[in-house]
Amino acid sequence: MILLIETSTDICSVGIAEEGKILVEKTSSEKYSHASRLTLFIEAACQSIDITLQDLKAVAVSIGPGSYTGLRIGLSTAKGTCYALGIPLIAVDTLKGLACKGMQIEPNASYFIPMIDARRMEVYTVLYDQAWEELVPNQAMILDEKSFSEFLNSGKTIVFLGNGAEKCKSLFEKANTIFLNELCAASNLAELAHQKFVQQDFADLAYIEPNYFKPPNITKPRKLL
């Protein structure tokens, strides 16, 4: 069994999966709740399927891109759990997890574009085809009418999903586009985490860092008069 941790956005989500299938999931969309809820969700998830932490074989964590604070909380919790239990850590790209969910829901689509909101008209995004080839690389992108035009004009079915997709619906809505109301959640990590576990593709606990893509948005305090 693999513990799944997703904290890359406002959503705090924990799950436990076995052989790529989700057994239990605990999720909250309350903002700024990661620090207070994450360990409680892990405990509750274990209790709900009558296991202990010692039954876990690995921990998978969403590694970004996404919220600076959320990613740090998720990764530090995942690392601490792995250290304490002596089990491996699996890092799953957040956007790839979203794309995997899209492929499960719309398996006949040609392209998958997960999007995570990065404020205003900027998103973290990537474009995959059905063979998992990155036709548009993982990046922070400011959206406009020309974004993804090559693929939108191809006539092939394109799936958009994630919390950044809804705000650009007016730009890209065409007959060949599908918008899914799927957000970052622990269950998105299950299949990819299982694949990595089988391949023994584990992260280095000492050196793994979140994929932030951009520096944190820190404002300077006003000078006192």
Averaged confidence pLDDT in the chain: 92
Give the pLDDT confidence score for residue 225 in this predicted structure: 46
Task: Tell me the pLDDT tens digit for each residue of 95-141.
Answer: 999 999 999 999 999 999 999 999 888 999 999 999 999 999 999 99
- H/E run at residue 100: helix 94-105
Fill in the amino acid letter for 18: E
Domains 2-93+184-199 and 94-180 share a fold: yes
Spans of all domains in the chain: 2-93+184-199, 94-180
What is the domain class of 94-180 according to CATH? alpha beta
Pick the closest to residue 162 from 133, 123, 196 (CA basis).
Answer: 123
- What mean pLDDT is predicted for residues 64-69? 92
Which residues, in sequence order, are bridge partners of residue 12?
28
What is the domain class of 2-93+184-199 according to CATH? alpha beta
CA atoms within 13 A on the CB side of 94: 35
Task: Tell me the pLDDT tens digit for each residue of 195-224.
Answer: 999 999 999 999 999 998 776 554 455 554
Residues 108 and 97: their CA atoms lie apart, in Å, by 18
Task: Tell me the pLDDT tens digit for each residue of 84-98.
Answer: 999 999 999 999 999
Q: Are 2 and 16 in contact (CB under 8 A)?
A: yes
Q: Are 175 and 156 in contact (CB under 8 A)?
A: no
pTM equals 0.90
